[in-house]
Amino acid sequence: MILHALVADAAGAGWAARNGATVVQLRLKDVTTAERVRVGREVIAAAGDLALVVMNDDVAAAIALGCTVHLGQGDEGVAAARQAGIDFGRSAASVEEAREAEREGALYVGAGAVWETPSKTDTGPAIGLDGLGDVCRAVRLPVVAIGGVDSTNAAACIAAGAAGVAVIRAVGELPGLRAVLDTALAARAPKGTG
């Protein structure tokens, strides 16, 4: 869950998986489920064993592919995902939404938007690092920070309690971003007793 790269094709998925992404999320807007399944097969092949593949928003496509699905607050499909036995992640912009995701059985929570971002304009106000920290402390699930995250602020998300980050615009920064995250996670790890 350390580094989610949101991509739109197999080439991007393969590059992301080879360059530090632990999760590759296929995000295709305004296409059919059949098209998401077609591209999803290519993404799964391109990512190989290097990264977990997640389908964004489309539970029917995720079921057809046998992969994890990410569902936003407005997306239906939790019951269908559970019935099909596939894992799902949920978006949360508040402690209440995160706790509900945990009750539903989510694999992880995508918390944000932490900062305003042009990549996703249909979200509420940014929750900031304080809101991210509140979500992280409220649930036992891994929390992935999303929204305006890049290599300059990813370590602050880890310091706030996030297990990882998700990026869209900063996908090109993956190798450096992964190094930043690994350093931040190592600094946060409990120290052994001599």
Residue 193 in any domain: the answer is: no
Q: Is 91 a catalytic residue?
A: yes
Residue-range definition of the domain harbouring residue 98: 3-188
Tokens of 23: 């999760």
Catalytic one among 36, 90, 91, 178? 91
Residue 101 in any domain: the answer is: yes
- Nearest CA-CA partner of 62 in 88, 83, 42: 88
Model's pTM, two decimal places? 0.93
Catalytic one among 18, 41, 99, 120? 120
Block mean pLDDT (10 aa), the chain, length 194: 97 98 97 98 98 97 98 92 97 97 98 86 85 98 97 98 97 95 91 54
131 in helix, strand or coil? helix
- Nearest CA-CA partner of 132 in 150, 101, 105, 109: 109
**Per-residue pLDDT at 124:** 79
93 contact partners, CB below 8 Å, separation of at least 6: 73, 111, 112, 113, 123, 124, 127, 131
How many other C-beta atoms lie within 10 A of the C-beta of residue 164?
Answer: 23
Catalytic one among 18, 27, 41, 99? 27
Residue 78 in any domain: the answer is: yes
Total domains, the chain = 1
CATH, residue 108? 3.20.20.70
Q: Is 120 a catalytic residue?
A: yes
